[in-house]
Amino acid sequence: MNKCIAKPREKRKENGPVVENVQVPMSKRARFIGPGGYNLRRLQAQTGVTISQADEETFSVFAPTPGAMNEVQDLIKEIYTDDQEQQLEFGAIYTATITEIRYENIL
């Protein structure tokens, strides 16, 4: 093999597949996945990438071309920018609707 090529290429091929890991915080995971996985399916259908969950906060993105990877990264950023986190002020009074009550057994 060393007779054919002594060292690895300096640059990747322009049309080679790309794999990257995307870190998604737990607080934004539901927004990233979407209801029933809608956002993930939409990203995969629009860009042709394959997204799989590696662990709770890491998703593996496989793109057939670097262009598809750039496109999916832009769409992921768009999903995050739509998510406006509210900055709450200490001591302020807020009106809210309780939608769920959870009980955790800490024994």
Give me the mean pLDDT over the 67-88 stretch: 79
Show the tokens assigned to 59. Answer: 């998703």
Asked which of 36-45, 83-92, 98-107 is least confident by mean pLDDT, the reply is 83-92
Residues 32 and 95: their CA atoms lie apart, in Å, by 27
Burial of 98 (0-12, 13-18, 19+ CB in 10 A): exposed
On whether the CB atoms of residues 23 and 29 are closer than 8 A, the answer is no
Asked which of 45-49, 53-57, 83-87, 102-106 is least confident by mean pLDDT, the reply is 83-87
pTM: 0.64
What was the pLDDT predicted at 63?
93
Residues 52 and 29: their CA atoms lie apart, in Å, by 13
Q: Which run of H or of E encompasses 56?
A: none
Residue ranges of the domains in the chain?
18-82
Residue-wise pLDDT tens digits, 5-57? 888 878 877 788 989 999 988 878 888 888 899 989 999 999 999 999 999 88
Q: How many Å is the maximal CA-CA distance in the chain?
A: 74
Average pLDDT over the chain reads 85
Residues 81 and 63: their CA atoms lie apart, in Å, by 22
Q: Which CATH class is domain 18-82?
A: alpha beta
